[in-house]
Amino acid sequence: MRYGYFDDNRKEYVITDPRTPLPWINYLGSDDFFRLISNTAGGYCFYKDANLLRMTRYRYNSDRPDSNGHYFYIKDGNKIWNPGWQPTQTALAGYSCRHGLGYTIIEGRRNGICAKQEVFVPRGENCEVTRITLSNETYKDKELDLFSYVEFCFWNALEDMSNFQRNYSIGEVEVIGSDIYHKSEFRERRRHYAVFSVNKPVAGFDTDRTSFLGAYNGPSFPEAVIRGESKNSIAHGWAPIGSHHLTCTLKPQESVSYIFVLAYCETGKEDKFEAPGVINKKPAQEVLAKFRTDEQVDQALEELRAHWEKLLSVYHVESDDEVLNRTANIWNQYQCMTTFNMSRSASYYESGLGRGMGFRDSCQDILGFVHMIPDKARERILDIANTQFPDGSAYHQYQPLTKRGNTGLGSGFNDDPLWLIAAVAAYLRETGDYTILDELCDFNNNPETKAPLLEHLKRSFTFTATHLGPHGLPLIGRADWNDCLNLNCFSEEPGESFQITGPSEGPVAESVFIGGMFVKYGREYEEILRHVGREEEADEAEHTVQQMEKTVLDAGWDGEWFVRAYDAAKKPVGSHVCEEGKIYIEPQGMCVMAGIGLESGEAVKALESAQRYLECDYGLVVLNPAYTSYHLELGEITSYPPGYKENAGVFCHNNPWVIIAETMLGHGDRAFDLMKKICPTYLEPISEIHKTEPYVYCQMVSGKDAPVQGEGKNSWLTGTASWGFAMLSQYILGIRPEMDGLCIDPCIPAACKGFTCTRKFRGSEYHITVKNPNGVQKGIASMTVNGNKLDGNVIPVPAAGSVCEVEVVMG
């Protein structure tokens, strides 16, 4: 069942039923100011950091997951309603929510009135603009009241939710005309406040929550709206809100618009106040002046549209499959930008209260956005490298505001260092900008220890190469990519961290997965070295990688698939000798991606086993059989009920690894089938089962061992976005940047007749036409560039500004 449809022309998903199985949200903002907005106008906003500078309140773990937002109420006679249905839930005659690229438009109709709520964050501004347009679609005059409502948060979102003995006394506001200022804590150490304003004179206002809502009403029937009159309350302590009351009389077929701006404002240290106790309103007035008229709003919306057109023009494909087109051209890339902006901080599943930027997560995210914003990818890479330890190991997370490693969790996740190589290699392939390798980066943010980025990569490589266990495989440390496989922690008490309880350093548990990673990214490191003429080091690296490849085949091969790991007692994990968890997905994908066993047959076998034991209707589960009891020696993975999360859920992130591996074997049909099982756009028709947004990947789908299968959870902020895009754009469609140029190497279903793709790459534009006259799945019979036959399938980089007409015939 669908709850809406894709409008590809406008690049929107249009929700037509507000009762989606879960809130279906969008992200507004692209620099510093962000708003999460659900299809019923729920959500909140913050400046830069979702925990420390939260502007509006989100109510956690509430019985309705979407119980607070930036709401607008319409009072028509004695009926009150919202354009987005919530929170009054008054029945609407018409409803739609258009989630677009950086904006959301919600439209509700009732009793001859249409109310349109357009919401966006203008480029370069720290504010949210909402334009409410009320239209009288009847042939009678209509008298209407409009009320706005936002609930302010006391900036630090965690304190806001817990420290009530203080919070109930700190709330302060100022009101001047239509401008409501939230200035809690400004009188002491803060130099920022919020302003909420509307561009028309108000009939009244409220700033105190209880005055507006009534002590027992809640936002679904606010007392002031029901009365049709604000109380002009000034909050002293308790819970400050911002609410405007506007009135209008609309003639038949007449419309009126109101522009609301909710802005984050900062002052200097010296000019905080314009009079004792009176805040300096200049920064607020400056931003408000920019959004007073419809023309200004239209102009800002146009700039936002142009911004997205530009970003999405780098990669654009046209095929017969419209679902594929919208995935590749719009939604997958959009989600990659969101993971760039948010990392794993703020979604409807990530609370925005904890978790900094993950070292491995941020490195992998780069694979998905580097083509759109290479400069920001560069900056991100350098930020990450600056947190690396001198021995090559890495903090597992760092804080976005300070850009320093997170000491609470520390280091010891032994896959982390290699992801830095993955990120840098992806950056180099996209941009050809080798100067990044000379950039000096600190170790552990200590400026006295600067070394070129290339040296950082060397330390990543060397760390792994020199931390080997009894089988010669890499030591796993606290965990590798699978955070929940904790082979060196032995936690028996509830509440302890599965990852950092117990002796993480020292024990001998090993990871075949990291072995596979080392072969893959070790080769990429070697390639980088050759490019910068360090042949000797490259030869050494090559030798070390070959050694590891041999070790993986010797000690990491189980007969039918790759073993997952060896635990602290040197027993295999993910082997036929195990009772549960006999086979895991990660080493099958990663080792084959690394090219291990391609010649000698293990690769094919590993993927066949993955298909046989791990596949279900919704993709490949992490492992099989699921663990039915808690294993001290395995850790968190066995803490989840069977079929969920890392314990045999479909953890979408690792499915693209297997799909990429399948394309390496030339299995176009198989790769595509598997992609369709996890790709949200293809799951749109079963939205009632899948539950999360059909336009973005979610982290996990309940697997074949779960009592209820196919339920998605944790949408938006997942590494699946970037791997999904790499899989589709570079391996299935096969338009892949390489160090020496753009490689064309599609692996598609036999029935696919071909496709075209426009790709901007290193300053030139490629118009690529792929034809598949003989119905093959992989392989190129001939290829021309501007009419000239090309040997091989890598197009050498032309002079910047070139246009390359590329004709590819598969066969």
Residue ranges in contact with ligand GLC by CB under 6 A: 344, 358, 360-361, 481-484, 636, 645-646, 699, 718
Would you say 484 or 616 has its CB closer to ligand GLC? 484
Cα distances (angstroms) measured from residue 415 to each of 333, 389, 394, 654: 26, 14, 9, 14
Closest distance of CB 310 from ligand GLC, Å: 30
Instruction: Tell me whether residue 719 or residue 798 sits nearer to ligand GLC (CB atom).
Output: 719
| Minimum CB distance to ligand GLC, residue 649 (Å) | 9
Are the C-beta atoms of 564 and 574 separated by less than 8 Å?
yes
Closest distance to ligand GLC from the beta carbon of 418 (Å): 13
Round to whole Å and give the CA distance between 21 and 148: 27
CB of 485 to ligand GLC, least distance (A): 8
Q: Name the residue nearer to ligand GLC (CB basis): 567 or 636.
A: 636
- Give alpha helix (H) positions in 141-253: 157-162, 164-170, 209-213, 223-227
Q: Which two tokens stand for residue 247?
A: 């009135």
Q: Are 195 and 264 in contact (CB under 8 A)?
A: no
DSSP 639: G
Instruction: Name the residue nearer to ligand GLC (CB basis): 118 or 361.
Output: 361
Name the minimum Å distance from CB 351 to ligand GLC. Answer: 12
Under 8 Å between Cβ of 30 and 307 = yes
CB within 8 Å of 810: residues ≥ 6 apart? 746, 748, 754, 770, 771, 772, 773, 774, 776, 778, 779, 780, 781
Pairing verdict, β 764-771 and 803-810: parallel
CA distance 697 to 717: 8
Stretch (H or E) spanning 426: helix 416-431
Position of tokens 């009530």?
Answer: 164
CB of 653 to ligand GLC, least distance (A): 6
Collapsed DSSP state (helix, strand, coil) of residue 788: strand
Min dist CB 636 to ligand GLC, Å, is 5
For residues 317 and 698, which CB has a smaller minimum distance to ligand GLC in the complex?
A: 698
**Residue 523 beta carbon to ligand GLC: minimum distance, rounded to whole angstroms:** 22
Alpha helix segments (H runs only) across 594-719? 602-614, 655-664, 668-678, 687-690
Shortest reach from residue 492's CB to ligand GLC, in Å: 17
- β partners of residue 14: 5, 98
Alpha-carbon distance of 25 to 715, in angstroms, equals 9
Q: Are 214 and 206 a contacting pair, CB within 8 Å?
A: no
DSSP for 720-782?
Answer: HHHHHHIIIIIIIS-EEEETTEEEE--B--TT--EEEEEEEETTEEEEEEEE-TT--SB-EEE
As measured in angstroms, the least distance from the Cβ of 718 to ligand GLC is: 6
Is 473:547 a contact under the CB 8 Å cutoff? no
Helix (DSSP H) and strand (DSSP E) numbers for the chain: 20, 44
Phi–psi pair at 802, nearest 5 degrees? -75, 160
- Pairwise CA distance, residues 723 & 422, whole Å: 12
477 within 8 A of 386, measured Cβ to Cβ:
no
Q: Identify which of residues 429 and 653 has a Cβ nearer to ligand GLC in the complex.
A: 653
Q: Give kind and range of the element (H or E) at residue 37.
A: strand 33-38
SS (H, E, C) 141-164: CEEEEEEEEEEEEEECHHHHHHCH
CB of 482 to ligand GLC, least distance (A): 5
Structure tokens at 171: 């709330």
Alpha-helix residue ranges (DSSP H) falling in 489-638: 512-531, 535-555, 586-593, 602-614
> 43 near 37, Cβ under 8 Å?
yes
- Nearest residue (CB) to ligand GLC, 110 versus 645: 645
**Mapping DSSP to helix (H, G, I), strand (E, B) and coil, where does residue 321 land?**
coil
What is the widest separation between alpha-carbon atoms in the chain?
A: 85
Query: Whose Cβ is closer to ligand GLC: residue 66's or residue 483's?
Result: 483
Q: Which residue is nearest to ligand GLC (CB)?
A: 483
**Beta carbon nearer to ligand GLC, 87 or 680:** 680
CB of 383 to ligand GLC, least distance (A): 17
- Judge whether 245 and 145 are in contact, CB under 8 Å: yes
Give the C-alpha separation, 481 to 5, whole Å.
Answer: 35
The catalytic residue among 483, 558, 705, 745 is 483
Which two structure tokens, joined as six digits, stand for 455? 């040296």
Q: Closer to ligand GLC by CB, 66 or 636: give it.
A: 636
β partners of residue 737: 742
Q: Which is nearer to ligand GLC, 557 or 584 (CB)?
A: 584
DSSP 329: I
Query: How near is the Cβ of 526 to ligand GLC at its closest, in Å?
Result: 25
Rounded to whole angstroms, how far apart are CA atoms 518 and 464? 7
Ramachandran region, residue 808 (left: φ > 0; alpha: ψ -120 to 50; beta: rest) = beta
- 740 catalytic? Reply is no
> Residue 291 in contact with residue 124, Cβ under 8 Å?
no
> Closer CB to ligand GLC, residue 73 or residue 697?
697
752 — phi, psi (to 5°)?
Answer: -80, 125
Smaller CB separation from ligand GLC, 499 or 575: 499
Q: Which residues are catalytic?
A: 483
